[in-house]
Amino acid sequence: MTYRKCNGSVSRRKFLKGLAASGATIAVGIASAARIHGVGKAWRAGHYQVHHIYTGRSECLFHIFPDGTSMLLDCGDTMRFYQTPAEVPLPSSPSVRAGEFAAKYVLSVNPNGDRVDYLHLSHYHEDHAGGPRYHGGPLGESSKGRFNLCGIADAARFLRFGRAIDRAWPGFDDPLNVLENGRDGTPRQVIALYAHLAETQGTQFERFALGAKDQFRLRDTGLFPGFKVFNLCANGRYVRKDGSIRDLYAERIKSGAKSLNENGMSCGMIIEYGKFRYFTAGDFSDGWKHGDGVRRQIEDALAEAVGPVQVAKLNHHGHHAMYPKLVKSLKARVWTSCTLDQQHCTDDTMVRLADRSLYDGPRLMLPTYMPLNRPVTPDGRGYLPDVAACVIKEPCHVVLDVPPGGDTYSLSCFSAVQSGNPLVGEFTFRS
């Protein structure tokens, strides 16, 4: 069952009355009032939440586990679209950088204040981490060098991180040396920042353990036994359902490749809570012609490892991503993503997500923003009936909430641009 509220014409009282009349279970509390530096549905003990934070310049996800354990997954900032037709502006004054905005949002919803248990970076790109091409912030310094105060570094002015999980720490050489392979210098930014966090906050660091089911864990592992984070992919490898590991780049490295697509190195995970499953894998995407002359996409390969989920975050912001085999395997009821470019959620991606020949049944597309003022877009846009009207109208923070057992789940959309950040869309489903 789905109940939609995508404009200001439906009062909260009327919304609740309609939801109750429909026979749906009201599994979560109503969205809390807007806070000073952010918005969100108030977290309740036993619930799993993901806040897809709209900054207009980055991917940023804040997870709150059922016992209050928290994880900031990516927090970038990029100026490469600044004052260009591609820019999707910040939901705040231009003087407020994306990392600061994200941190203050986290402070408004985190049950542990400024303490964040896990910092996890999916891969070394500036729109996920912050980087040296940023022009607006001052510099920080550590024993490993200087770094721009943007993205994660900016957020660290307001947040304290207990543990950081990185795809290639401590050698930064998997599968190739990231300092030589990084296209925009972001790895140097990240290495200097990590040293700063260790030296000033005492943050502990771990390498992302491919195939692990307990690296991201609750404080008390005996609580909420139905909650699990499975480390699905990293560094161009993924774990098959039988536990074996496939290396997608092994042959290219063996043949002497000097550089690889950092997107394909993205860390990904499946998060389970009872009946509920959530997929997220950074910018996991890449493709090349193989020996037989056929171009193949690594997302199609990953399809053998995933299986159906209730909610999936799009790879690479939905930018020429999510190829048929992966879409067919995930069969998501809800597709979401973080938008920072007018071309994100490109038409070819959206057509694949809407394709009922890949899997049958209804689906909801819920990016943080669905910009339609693109220079060139094919006629028709047959996928638009699957896109929530509220995220076409305006940028939103999208909050996923899963109650104990995972029998139901909801997604709430809060305006990122209206004063007071009102609730503009609410969707409730059964797993």
Q: What is the mean pLDDT of residues 385-406?
A: 95
How many helical (H) and strand (E) elements, i.e. helices and strands, does the chain have?
Answer: 11, 21
pLDDT of 190 over the 90 cut: yes
The contacts of residue 271 (CB under 8 Å, 6+ apart) are 48, 63, 227, 228, 229, 230, 277, 278, 280
| Predicted local distance difference test score (pLDDT) of residue 17 | 35
Q: Which two tokens stand for residue 125?
A: 């790109």
Domains, the chain, ordered by start:
12-430 (3.60.15.10)
> Cα angle at 275 between 272 and 280, to 5 degrees?
35
Distance separating alpha carbons of residues 199 and 185, to the nearest angstrom: 22
Element (H, E) at 364: strand 364-367
CA 333, CA 68: separation in Å to the nearest integer? Answer: 26
Residue 363: DSSP 8-state: -
- Where b means 16+ CB within 10 Å and e means fewer, 257-286 reads eeebbbbbbbbbbbbbbbebbbbbbbbbbb
Report residue 145 as tokens.
Answer: 């060098």
> Is pLDDT of 206 > 50?
yes
Convert the pLDDT of each residue in 260-274 to its tens digit: 999 999 999 999 999
* pLDDT for the residue 69: 97
Pair type for strands 70-75 and 334-337: unpaired
What strands, in cross-sheet order, belong to the sheet with 276-280? 245-247, 237-239, 227-234, 268-273, 276-280, 311-313, 334-337, 364-367
* Burial group, residue 175, by CB count within 10 angstroms (0-12, 13-18, 19+): buried
Mean pLDDT, the chain, whole residue set? 86
CA distance 283 to 75: 13
Q: What is the mean pLDDT of residues 277-290?
A: 94
As a whole number of angstroms, the distance between CA 391 and CA 398 comes to 9
> Which two tokens mark 406?
């995972």
User: Residue 398 in contact with residue 411, Cβ under 8 Å?
Assistant: yes
- Extract the tokens encoding 279: 């997929």
How do 276-280 and 268-273 pair as beta strands? antiparallel
Per-residue pLDDT tens for 36-68? 334 567 899 999 999 999 998 899 999 999 999
In this prediction, residues 403-430 reach a mean pLDDT of 94
Burial class (CB in 10 A: 0-12, 13-18, 19+), 111: middle
Contacts of 115 (CB under 8 A, 6+ apart): 70, 159, 160, 162
| pLDDT in the model for residue 175 | 95
φ, ψ dihedrals at 14, nearest 5°? -65, -40
Residue 182 in this model has a pLDDT that exceeds 70 = no
Residue 13 has pLDDT above 80, yes or no: no
pLDDT digits (tens, 9 = 90+) for 89-100: 666 655 678 899
State the average pLDDT over residues 6-27: 33
Q: Is the pLDDT of residue 209 over 90?
A: yes
Q: Within a 13 Å sphere around the CA of 9, how many CA atoms are in the beta-carbon half?
A: 4
